[in-house]
Amino acid sequence: MAALARPLDGKMIGGVCAALARRFGTSATTMRVIFLVSCVLPGPQFLLYLALWLLLPTEKTASTAW
């Protein structure tokens, strides 16, 4: 499994769904659809997305790594 980090490519808003998709081995589109469907259900999905956006580190590239 890949490390949980927001990618620099393939993201739409914050990269949270793309990071979760890489982590669990699914496509980013599938993860986005799951998130949108889950927003219909009661719960803190949107707050969880914002928290992950703030707390997940961005992915390191070869040019930014030492």
* pLDDT tens digits for range 30-62: 999 999 999 999 989 989 999 999 999 988 875
Q: Could you give the CA distance from residue 20 to residue 27 in angstroms, rounded to a whole number?
A: 9
Q: Could you give the CA distance from residue 38 to residue 4 in angstroms, rounded to a whole number?
A: 21
Q: Could you give the CA distance from residue 5 to residue 23 in angstroms, rounded to a whole number?
A: 9
CA distances from 42 to 4, 45, 47 (A): 26, 8, 12
The pLDDT, as a whole number, for residue 59 is 84
Q: Could you give the CA distance from residue 14 to residue 54 in angstroms, rounded to a whole number?
A: 9
Q: Could you give the CA distance from residue 22 to residue 31 in angstroms, rounded to a whole number?
A: 10
